[in-house]
Amino acid sequence: MRQSRTAAGACSLLLAAACALADPATAQVAAPRAVAGGYVALGDSYSAGVGAGDYLASGRECKRSSRAFPVLWAEAHAPTSFAFAACNGAGTTDVLTEQLGHLSPRTGLVTLTVGGSDTGFVRVIASCALGGTGGCRSALSQARNAMDGSLSAGLDRLYTAIRNRAPAARVVVLGYPHLYHLQGACALGLPDGERATLNDAVDHLNAVIARRATAHGFTFADVTAAFAGHEICSSRPWLRGVDVLAITESYHPTAPGQSLGYLPALNRVS
């Protein structure tokens, strides 16, 4: 929706190389790699950085964090411009109608996480936590139907609009991590059977997103491997569990989840 800050390199690559030659101790310090064109970060709460803290005043209603992976990537790579449009709660229609104004033929990179809100994953988690096994499985069945139906159609509309507005951009669509570490440290909460079912639903959601992204010539970045061993109930979780005092941040990546989970996944493909 609104723009944030633009990251800039401190010196040119040539100057950095010259400094390294003059002082071998500096040879270990890599200068940020300049990126041609602007960078636009679209999407939902996982791109906005909900759960990571340190929220920006310019995007407080969207809970945009200075620790979110788009900000970290922009700081490291110095794009010619950076628009941080991702917003908490955004679905495909929200991104389509409210976030694409930042795109142009000069855009060089677009990143995006979207789909969880469209399929009602918050409602699914609540049903699994409160509705027992029957309510959980019923909610998951409805979510899977939405993934295969309305979400697929919504992604097609959105991806087509992104390509039309930014015809030269590299578009990276990032997926979602598994929520739970099975046989982990949580003594209370959902049983492992329902936790495994939720993880399976995340896999199905990622598969739908990946298929539509690939069909439009976009790159899909899977983050499940990066988060393996760091899900909720692990010894070092990068996802927030249920927090009744900050319910919006529940089931979202922490600052390490953004910097050690999402950022490396984006770096590998960008």
Write the pLDDT tens digit of every residue in 193-203.
Answer: 888 889 999 99
Please identify which of the residues 77, 102, 181, 252 carries the catalytic annotation.
252
Is the per-residue pLDDT at 51 higher than 50?
yes
- The answer to whether 150 is a known catalytic residue is no
- The answer to whether 45 is a known catalytic residue is yes
The CATH code that applies to domain 13-269 is 3.40.50.1110
Distance CA 156, CA 93 (A): 11
**pTM for the complete prediction?**
0.84
Please identify which of the residues 4, 45, 152, 234 carries the catalytic annotation.
45
Per-residue confidence (pLDDT) for residue 128, from 0 to 100 = 79
Mean pLDDT of the chain: 85
Distance CA 219, CA 210 (A): 8
Q: What is the pLDDT of residues 135-187, one digit of tens each?
A: 788 888 888 888 999 999 999 999 999 999 999 999 999 999 999 999 888 87
Per-residue confidence (pLDDT) for residue 211, from 0 to 100 = 97
Is the per-residue pLDDT at 19 higher than 70?
no
Domain ranges of the chain: 13-269
